[in-house]
Each structure stands twice: as structure tokens, then as C-alpha cells.
Amino acid sequence: MDLNYSAEEAAFREDVRAWLASNLPQDLKQKVASYAHLSKDDLLRWHRILAKQGWVAPAWPKEWGGTGWNVVQRYIFEEELGYAGAPPLIPFGLTMCAAVLLRFGTESQKRRFLPRIYDGDDFWCQGYSEPGSGSDLASLKTKAVRKGDEYIVNGQKIWTTLAHYADWIFCLVRTDPSVERRQEGISFILIDMKTHGITVRPLMLMDGAHEVNEVFFDDVRVPAENLVHEEGKGWTVAKYLLGYERMNTGRIGESKRQLAALQEFGSTLSKNDLRFRDRLSRLEIELMALEITNLRFLDRMRRTGQPPGADVSMLKIKGTEIQQGITELMLQAADPAASDAFTEAVRKKYLSMRKTTIYAGSNEIQRNIIAKMTLGL
């Protein structure tokens, strides 16, 4: 196992860092640094800057616009994006749906959807969670009934991130309710959000932000050609997709940037409060350990060429706990009596980060996955 960067990889990091310093718009960088709201236009502006550079989808095959970078270079790129304070690249299209289409999609589906995802012409969201079927994803109840060349979809999805921005949604639906194993009889389909019968309702979070939604499907007609992979084999697709989702939840570069800001912001408290200094030091050590763990995964992927396995859940667990820990200490370092815009933004960020240990499969579920799939318990 080799956890060191080569001279070529170190030079690549410097090139990426220099490009970001010259091309990341300062207004977007400032919004990220101050925890300000990022609009759809903000997200797509940064997406299209990277697309023009040819860097928006590094993991894609070169024939579809990928960079040809190896897994270490892709990790370095993601780390530098976070450390520079770039807006997030929304993963639902670029990372998740695209990975599924490249692995399971037909040539027609690839030609239809991948270029539009790459250029930012279609904004995607994910239709997985349902009321009563969040972490227990296999218990989903949204139905899709085949009638001729269409599926008729009825049901509800919940906690659908950025559905109010989305042009398309990829959904898990139940196409065969008669099977004994709940993981069977589930299919993966792509649905145009402009289709008649779809209703999007906002769910306001604790921080007052409109980020997630309920999505209702009432006799929504979906062309059968939008089925990805085989009917009833959607669970295979879902597991493949979730590995890519969880690989991206560590956010090591972003946490490094925020930890550095916290060390500066809380420097006075750190000098005078031993318990604060102790928690800050623990977070720094945990983040270093997380980075080394991530490098282990990268080294394995580089050697084997295989996608991330069940043990990638470790990154999700520890990464999100560190993200929460940083905002907890940032809130502690803030003046509780202050009412300035930054302090208010810190409070909102703290509230927003409560969800990180729940999304992409709650951390309790991730521990069960590790125990069963990795440890064999």
C-alpha cells in the first residue's frame, strides 16, 4: 500500500490550485465562506465554468468528456475544490445518475442524457426516500405499473434535495409487489419533472432554508424507454449508486478549509478554554485519520480498478461526524449575543449540518452495513 503522493501528483495539485485561484469567481467563493445561500444560477455558473475547462466530470470515460485522470488525481481535484471554497458540484446528475447510466444504461440513454448532464442543461434530483422508508429503503411503496409503452407511477418521495430546481429525477419504484424479498421487484426509472401529475412541495428545515421537498406522483406517465437496467433489478442499480454517493460524503478538503477557519476564528477561546482546545485538537487528528483512510480506499481502487465496496461507509460515518463537530465548535466560538450576519450564518450552518449523519443512509445503518458486509457479523 502506498499512501504517498508522487512528484507528478504533487505537481498536478499545484496546477489545480493555481487554476482555481485564477478562475473561481470571488463572489461565489465569498458566498461559500460566509455560508450564504447558493442559488440554482450560482451552482450552474460554477458547473459550466468547470465544464468549459473540461473538468466537471473527471471520473467519466474520456469519450463522454472525462479527463482521463487516475483515482488519486480525482481525489486531489475534489480536495482542492473544497479547500479553495468552491461551490459544490451537485452530485445527483454528475456523480450518481451518470455512474448508473455508464454502467447500466443503453447507448441511446447515454447519448440522450450524458451530454446534457455534462453541460448543465439538465438539473437532477434523487427519488429514493419515502415516508416510513428512509433508511429502510427496500420498504418503498411508490408503484410503477407497465401499460404498453409506458409506466404509470403513483406514490410519494420525501426529503428530495433540490427537487424544486430539478428538470429530472431518478427514482426507485416498485414494479412487482408480489415478490417475497423486498429488495426484489424494484426498478430504477428516469422521470421528467415537467410531466403532468408531479407535485413538488417544500419542506422547510430548522435553519429556515428551502433545500428539501416532498414529491408526489399521481398517475404520472413515464415512457418505458426510461427504465434503466432490467425491470425488477433496480436494487442492484441502487447499491451501485450508493457506493458512489457515500464515497463523496467525507468532504475532506472542505473540512480542512473550515477547520483552518475555526482555528483562526476560535484562537482566543482556544487559548483560554482547555476543553475547547482539546476538542479542536481531537477534530484535527480525526480529520488526518479520515484522510489516510480515504487514501487507503483510493490506493485499492487504483490497484484493482473496482468501485468502492461496503466499507466505504466508514468515510460517510466519520466524515459527517467531523463536519458536525466543526460547526459545533464554530458555534461555541461565536459570540452568543452577537447579531451580525456572519454569526447568524454560523448558527444556520450548525442547524443545517444536523442532517449530515442521516442523509445517504443514516450512520446507524452504515455501521450495520460494515458489521454485516465487511466484518461478517
Catalytic center residues: 245
d(CA 96, CA 166) in angstroms, rounded, equals 14
Q: Spell out where 37-149 has E strands.
A: 124-127, 143-147
Assigned C-alpha cell, 251:
468532504
Q: Minimal CA–CA distance to 183: which of 136, 138, 240, 243?
A: 138
d(CA 305, CA 315) in angstroms, rounded, equals 19
Torsion angles phi and psi, residue 16, rounded to 5: -65, -45
Residues in Cβ contact with 69 at an 8 Å cutoff, skipping those fewer than 6 apart: 58, 77
Assigned C-alpha cell, 212:
428539501
Q: Minimal CA–CA distance to 258: which of 359, 161, 346, 338?
A: 346
Q: Minimal CA–CA distance to 45: which of 32, 33, 61, 62?
A: 32
Structure letter (DSSP) for residue 233: B
Contact yes or no for 261/209 (Cβ under 8 A): no
Q: Give residue 335's identity as a one-letter amino acid code.
A: D
d(CA 232, CA 174) in angstroms, rounded, equals 8
